[in-house]
Amino acid sequence: MGIHGIGETFIKSINIGTLEKPIIQTGEEVRKWLQSNSLNNE
């Protein structure tokens, strides 16, 4: 399942770390991370 419509979105970057130790994901890495870490992922 995963997140619906993620392929059509424009996502520049997300921080999956903390403010002190940021881990910045960009581009296709964001989609892969969101899909593998979504609450709907079964």
Q: Is residue 42 part of a domain?
A: no
Q: Is residue 16 part of a domain?
A: yes
pLDDT of residue 18: 95
Predicted confidence (pLDDT) per residue in 1-42, tens digit: 456 666 666 778 889 999 999 999 998 888 888 888 876 555
pLDDT of residue 4: 66
Q: Is residue 1 part of a domain?
A: no
Alpha-carbon distance 31 to 20, whole Å? Answer: 24
Give the domain extent around 17.
6-37
Number of structural domains found in the chain: 1
pLDDT of residue 24: 93
Q: What is the pTM of this model?
A: 0.57
Phi, psi (degrees; rounded to nearest 5) at 36 = -80, -15
Q: Is 6 helix (H, G, I), strand (E, B) or coil?
A: helix
pLDDT of residue 38: 77
Q: Is residue 22 part of a domain?
A: yes
